[in-house]
Amino acid sequence: MFQVDYDTGAIEISKGDTGSFELEAIREDRVAWGENDRAVFTLRGPSGENVIERVYRLDSETPGNGVIVIEFHNQDTDQLDPGSYTWEMRFVGHQYMDSSGKIVNGNFIRTPGIDGSGDPMPLTIKSVQADI
């Protein structure tokens, strides 16, 4: 089971399940995203630790400029404990990365929230019920 509430940004997923959803990042100045602009998806555990972090180019032609497809694969959640997590998106213009590939700075950063503003959104991992 995978479910996204697009009004609140809340996600529910069963442990080990798959699913995807799209977000569109629109710049306030309405300028197109460039090759150095990124979106960072972060899923944090109950203690605030990063569980998943993915970086996306915002100028990709597929699916479209500023549209990001966030995918959850079986291996993303099958090792996580059921419970409450939070997720956020950060939008970074002209990003600067350290030697490990993590974004450390940029010209503008909007975070967190489904639209780049607000609080991190909830993500709930539910237990899988065995069919007996």
Backbone angles phi, psi at 32, to 5 degrees: -65, 150
Domains delineated in the chain? 2-126 (2.60.40.10)
Q: What percent of the chain clears pLDDT 70, i.e. is strictly above it?
A: 81
Q: Give me the mean pLDDT over the 103-121 stretch.
A: 63
Q: Token pair for residue 41?
A: 């998806």
**Residue whose C-alpha is closest to residue 121's, from 87, 82, 89:** 87
- Residue bearing tokens 């007996």: 132
Confidence of residue 108 (pLDDT cuts 50, 70, 90): low
Beta bridge partners of 12: 3, 124
Question: Tens digits of per-residue pLDDT, 80-106?
Answer: 899 999 988 888 777 767 787 777 676
Burial class (CB in 10 A: 0-12, 13-18, 19+), 11: buried
pLDDT tens-place string over residues 57-82 = 888 766 778 888 999 999 998 888 99
User: What is the DSSP-derived secondary structure letter of residue 41?
Assistant: E
Average pLDDT over residues 113-129: 70
Whole-model pTM?
0.78
Task: Report pLDDT for 73.
Answer: 92
